[in-house]
Amino acid sequence: METARTKSISKASEALHISHTALSKQLRSLEQQFDVQLFARSSQGVELTDAGKVLYESSKIVLDQLTVITRALEPYKVWRRIRIGTIPDIASQYLLASLHKLEDQGHEVELVYRQSTPEVYKMLLDGEVDLLVAERISMHPSIWMGDLHQEPLFVVMPKGHPFASKPAVTLPELSSQPLVLYAEGCTIRAKLTHLFAAMNHPMNIKTEVNFKEVILGYVGNGGGLTVLPEPYITQLPTDRLVSVPLSHPDAQRTIAVFSTNRAKGQSVFRLLR
């Protein structure tokens, strides 16, 4: 169906995330199974033959019927196999130690990693995973959410920084400092943007990077300050860096379970708490 839609085996294989050779082999297998030619090939691409059009229209009906059947069986699923989307840091903090609870309940768990929070959410919305364990953001009402943990945010700075001896750092104080933050799409950066805007203070972003280790390298060498959640603080190289709480009632991030299926989400949520 994808080949018919794109009129190209190359484009269809890219969309399906399989090799050109693998898709061609599957198409030949279909043609051999039904003993027909499905596509007419040319230098411009491929077009459905009359036989191909019959199979294409019939396939749409079959897939629609499979969707109906899948939805009808949804309430009876035992959820033996669960795909959980997450990012590496959150997996190490909240998932890996709890996997045995899921396995003890007969679940076969596959963790699917992405490097950024937006990529993780896209997996859920695209149906690539059954649920997420990720930072909480506003989602469509059809997505079930359950909060697992709340993590306060800390300002990280070099040991010799003037703020290093303070019990906490306020947003106005932080506004005067150059910041080293994750690039756009990071939920902590989005949280800071919201907090600064609400207090009408500028946010002085000096450097944007994509990895925590690089951020800490910039901070340790005087490139600016950064803001990280509490679990990251225990991993700081204390010979060079110190952390101070960010003083604001909303200076925290929430780790939550997300699922398009309430029953599955609640079942896994109870085991992870």
In sign, the C-alpha dihedral spanning 144, 149, 150, 155 is: negative
Q: What homologous superfamily is domain 151-253 in, according to CATH?
A: Periplasmic binding protein-like II (3.40.190.10)
Q: pLDDT band at residue 47, thresholds of 50, 70 and 90?
A: very high
Record the tokens describing residue 177, joined without a space. 């400092």
Pick the CATH number of 78-148+254-272 from 3.30.470.30, 2.60.120.10, 3.30.420.10, 3.40.190.10: 3.40.190.10
Q: Which helix (H) or strand (E) holds 208?
A: strand 205-209
CA dihedral 162, 165, 167, 168 (to 10 degrees): 30
Show me where the domains of the chain are located.
Answer: 2-75, 78-148+254-272, 151-253
Record the tokens describing residue 162, joined without a space. 């003037």
Q: What are phi and psi of 232, to 5 degrees?
A: -70, -25
How do residues 201-260 score in pLDDT, each as one tens digit? Answer: 888 899 888 777 788 889 999 999 999 999 888 888 888 999 999 999 999 989 999 998
Q: pLDDT band at residue 78, thresholds of 50, 70 and 90?
A: low
- Residue 185's pLDDT is 65
- Identity at 224, one-letter amino acid code: G
For residue 65, pLDDT beyond 70: yes
Record the tokens describing residue 216, joined without a space. 């800490």
Specify the residue for token string 């919201």: 194
**Reduced to 3 states, what is the DSSP secondary structure of residue 140?**
coil
Cβ atoms of 54 and 30 within 8 Å: the answer is no
Q: What are phi and psi of 130, to 5 degrees?
A: -85, -35
How far is 259 from 212, CA to CA, in rounded Å? 27
Q: List helix spans (H) across 207-273.
A: 212-220, 230-233, 262-272
**CATH class in words for 2-75:** mainly alpha
Q: 78-148+254-272 and 151-253: same fold?
A: yes
Q: Which of 258, 266, 272, 267 is nearest to 85 (CA)?
A: 258
pTM of the model: 0.64
How do residues 84-128 score in pLDDT, each as one tens digit? Answer: 999 888 888 888 888 888 888 788 889 999 877 888 888 888 888
Question: 47-61, 64-78, 115-129, 200-214 — which one is most confidently predicted on average?
Answer: 47-61
How far is 166 from 157, CA to CA, in rounded Å? 12
Per-residue pLDDT, averaged over 50-73, amounts to 91
Percent of the chain with pLDDT over 90: 45
